[in-house]
Chains A and B, each alone.
Chain A
């Protein structure tokens, strides 16, 4: 026997002995209130302790005695002999039960009847006083029955059952009755339910009949969600972890879905059918059973309950279900009720010695402790606030304050909020000195709110719900507002500039280290400076990427204009066009996004104007009447890609060849021989417009060359594919950010000059003799390939140095898809710079991409090789 039970039996016997002696004593001296109190307390103790065990008969009987004794000691009733007789009988009975308990460690349920019989006359003295029945030890919410599953459509249930039957899969049933006030804490129960993993069936209904619309309060939640999910039970329990008091979860086999529904026919008697069916099950004559089921089904009204039951029988037979499922259904047909799956489940669980459904619920809830702890923490904080609001005797003021602070401090420590302990201590001391706990109450309110916020973050509508909270304090709204900050763009730009300066300033440190070593001969100092440089460099990089994050915005910002554009233009041109936009949430630097707007609109206009054919033409071509334009954005490694695809007529290659030749962009011979793909690229050449007639839609003189230029300006590239009759596919690739540029510095006339690093292929030094002259052009051999050569001095109209035998420094770059060697005076190092575009009059100098500030304070020009070559 467990020591606890042994203790209970021994203690209760002592108490009962004292009680009996006491009752005999007051029989002679009814005024002895002390004695009466003593008796009451003894009985009270037995009752209190009995609640720790499953001994309901004892609890019920002792409870009745206690209630009677309570009214006696408060002198609401006068003691009489009959009461004493009855009490003594009751306690004799309890003594006997203690003997049984000692022998068997349990009390049979039948004793409960005896307990009630003996309690009745005791309670009779109490008149109408309500009897408080002892609550069951575990009050986990459970389903009273599973009949509610019947409200889900039979066909839906049948499909789900057919899918799961025999697979061993289990279902989780749930009933979620949200708190009426839940909207005020930012909850959206429907949203929560939609997240349920493997949600299969759902019934949404009001908890009570709908009020008239004029009396309805939209912000009182009146709904109840009942449903069935096939996802793992643990995941469902996790999903609903913040509403444990509003949710009932039960894991069951799929058989619970078998609930016949429909109109009951009181006169019908199916005893004969059930008996016959049962014997067919016994004989395992499934065809025979199927036969009588079908026969009866044919004669039943489809809406009748019995028809529904028969349909289920039929389904079970088709799925060759086990007797275990068939029999309960047959039993149910006797009464036209049930089957009571909950009772069946419980019985089979007990048979197997497994946990009952209710226990199962309690033991498998994951992180149950965490949920309990969370709830307990909230409760403790709330109660401390409540206590602080209550009046208190002056001499107990400090004690109360200190105990409350100890409780909060310990709870915070347990919850891992150690960072708040110092603040708590300060508030405690302040409160102690001023004898005012206002500030402390403030902290508690904050804690309660922080908890709320944590919960609110789980629902998308949380922020908006906070806003409309009509009665709650406004503090919650303020807190929400701080989470997103609207910043003036100029301030961000200013921050960007400052970071640029920091990057530049940091670049002066290597120079300083060099000077320390070379000029002052101090190696150690040089090393230390380099170390510091490493640290500052890292911080600067982090800072830079942080601020770049701030500047990121979704490309959808630009895409917003498209639907309107497409609608208006297609209407104007009598075309039918479907625009499909995806990936709006892809992010890139603000400047890049903004630089994208015009080129994208131009591309779209081209597609609408030239690409998509008129509907009648499309129908003749066997294409769908509606043309489609897809705009798709996505992140591709370090860049953002945007694809614009249409299913129009594609680019007329012949027309492009013809026009390019006529405009002298290429020779007639070149136009003939170049591949289709290359020819199509010619539309990017300046001044080429493929349609004869200039429409007012794609504009005048502004062609694809402008698109390419603007994309390249922000460091992007454009590729184009087109198939005649099938459509055109444009792909823009853009850097995520344009803040930092890697450049390779080269020397020209003793000055540094920057070349964008992404163009540089390699650096080589060759003797002048390795340079071939072919007509007027120079070239050299690099790994068996002839590479054209250009001289940077010539490109920039600078004087040539005197020819010498010294090796030439050649920078091999890739421009327009071709390798080109560029002769420079000398190479310098690669570096990161903040590139500033040329401004003012210099802005028109297209051969320069911009300027960059160097570590030593000088300014370096960065050349635009694509323009120069």
Chain B
């Protein structure tokens, strides 16, 4: 499982694919203060990205992958 969902922290690893989006969304719907760790994530599918953006989750550990972090983090910080 590239996305491991625990009590209120979800841990992303490697390439996170489209099928993780729905379980993640359900998990986020039940969470008041969800946090995500993206440290070991190398890519996440657009579907996951938009779920994270919509839920305005807090990223506690940005991706180590500099390329991913560069494009992803502004989108996740930008709370419109």
A residues at B contact (CB < 8 Å): 153, 178, 183, 187-191, 193-194, 199, 202-206, 210-211, 213-214, 216, 218-219, 221-223, 460-461, 464-465, 467-468
Contact = CB atoms under 8 A, between A and B. Distances in A.
Nearest to A463: B17
Contact of A213 (B18, B19, B25): B25
B33 to A, nearest CB: 13
B53 to A, nearest CB: 7
B49 A190 contact: yes
A190 B51 CA distance: 13
B49 A223 contact: yes
A216 B49 contact: no
Contacts of B53: 204, 206, 210, 223
B18 A183 contact: yes
A623 to B, nearest CB: 24
B8 interface: no
Contacts of B21: 218-219
Contacts of A188: 18, 45-46
Which one of B28, B46, B55 has the greatest number of beta carbons of chain A within 10 Å?
B46
A421 B76 CA distance: 51
A178 B54 contact: no
Given A202-B71, A205-B80, A183 B47 contact: yes
A210 B51 CA distance: 10
A222 B19 CA distance: 17
A158 to B, nearest CB: 16
Contact of A221 (B22, B24, B46, B78): B46
A154 to B, nearest CB: 13
Contacts of B18: 183, 188, 219, 461, 464-465, 468
A460 to B, nearest CB: 6
Interface string B58-80: 00000000011001001100101
B80 A213 contact: no
Given A213-B54, A218-B22, A178 B46 contact: yes
A187 B18 CA distance: 10
A183 B22 CA distance: 12
A218 B47 contact: yes
A435 B56 CA distance: 58
Nearest to A466: B18
A238 to B, nearest CB: 20
A223 B51 CA distance: 10
Contacts of B35: none
The interface residues of chain A, by DSSP majority, are classed as: mixed
Contact of B46 (A183, A203, A211, A460): A183
B17 A194 contact: no
Given A183-B18, A461-B17, A194 B43 contact: yes
Contacts of A465: 17-19
A2 to B, nearest CB: 48
A732 B46 CA distance: 42
Interface string B1-31: 0000000000000010111011011001100
Contacts of A211: 54
Given A188-B46, A190-B45, A206-B80, 9 more contacts: A188-B45, A190-B43, A194-B43, A206-B54, A210-B53, A211-B54, A213-B54, A218-B22, A219-B18
A834 to B, nearest CB: 39
A222 B7 CA distance: 28
A467 B19 CA distance: 8
B25 A223 contact: no
A760 to B, nearest CB: 47
A415 to B, nearest CB: 30
A214 B28 CA distance: 9
A223 B46 contact: yes
Contact of B50 (A153, A187, A218): A218
Interface residues of B, number: 28
B44 interface: yes
B54 A190 contact: no
Contact of A204 (B24, B29, B71): B71
A91 to B, nearest CB: 54
Contacts of A204: 49, 53, 71, 74-75
Nearest to B16: A461
Contacts of A191: 43, 45-46
Contacts of A210: 53-54, 80
B50 A222 contact: yes
Given A178-B46, A188-B46, A465-B18, A218 B51 contact: yes
15 contacts: A189-B46, A190-B43, A190-B44, A190-B45, A190-B49, A202-B74, A203-B74, A204-B75, A213-B55, A218-B22, A219-B47, A222-B50, A460-B15, A465-B17, A465-B19
Contacts of A221: 46-47, 50
A190 B19 contact: no
B29 to A, nearest CB: 5
A187 B51 CA distance: 16
A223 B48 CA distance: 11
A253 B55 CA distance: 37
Considering the complex of A and B, which 7 residue pairs feature the smallest CB-CB distances, nearest first?
A218-B21, A204-B75, A190-B46, A210-B54, A464-B17, A218-B25, A468-B19
B67 A194 contact: yes
Contact of B51 (A199, A216, A467): A216
B32 to A, nearest CB: 11
A218 B46 CA distance: 10
A465 to B, nearest CB: 5
Given A213-B55, A219-B21, A468-B18, A461 B71 contact: no
B75 A216 contact: no
Contacts of A219: 18, 21-22, 47
Nearest to A199: B71
Which one of B50, B51, B68 has the greatest number of beta carbons of chain A within 10 Å?
B50
A206 B53 CA distance: 9
A840 B21 CA distance: 55
Contacts of B44: 190
B29 A223 contact: no
B18 to A, nearest CB: 5
A828 B55 CA distance: 77
A213 B50 contact: no
Contacts of A190: 43-46, 49, 71
Nearest to A190: B46
Given A194-B43, A204-B49, A216 B25 contact: yes
A461 B20 CA distance: 11
Contacts of B49: 190, 204, 223
B1 to A, nearest CB: 13
Nearest to B25: A218
Nearest to B49: A190
A213 B24 CA distance: 11
B46 to A, nearest CB: 4
Contacts of B25: 213, 216, 218
Contacts of B15: 460-461
Contacts of B22: 218-219, 468
Contact of B28 (A183, A189, A213): A213
Contacts of A194: 43, 67-68, 71
A213 B50 CA distance: 11
B45 A461 contact: yes
B6 to A, nearest CB: 19
Contacts of B46: 178, 183, 187-191, 221, 223
Nearest to A184: B18
B51 to A, nearest CB: 5
A467 B46 CA distance: 16
A644 to B, nearest CB: 24
A216 B15 CA distance: 23
A221 B21 CA distance: 12
A507 B72 CA distance: 61
Nearest to B44: A190
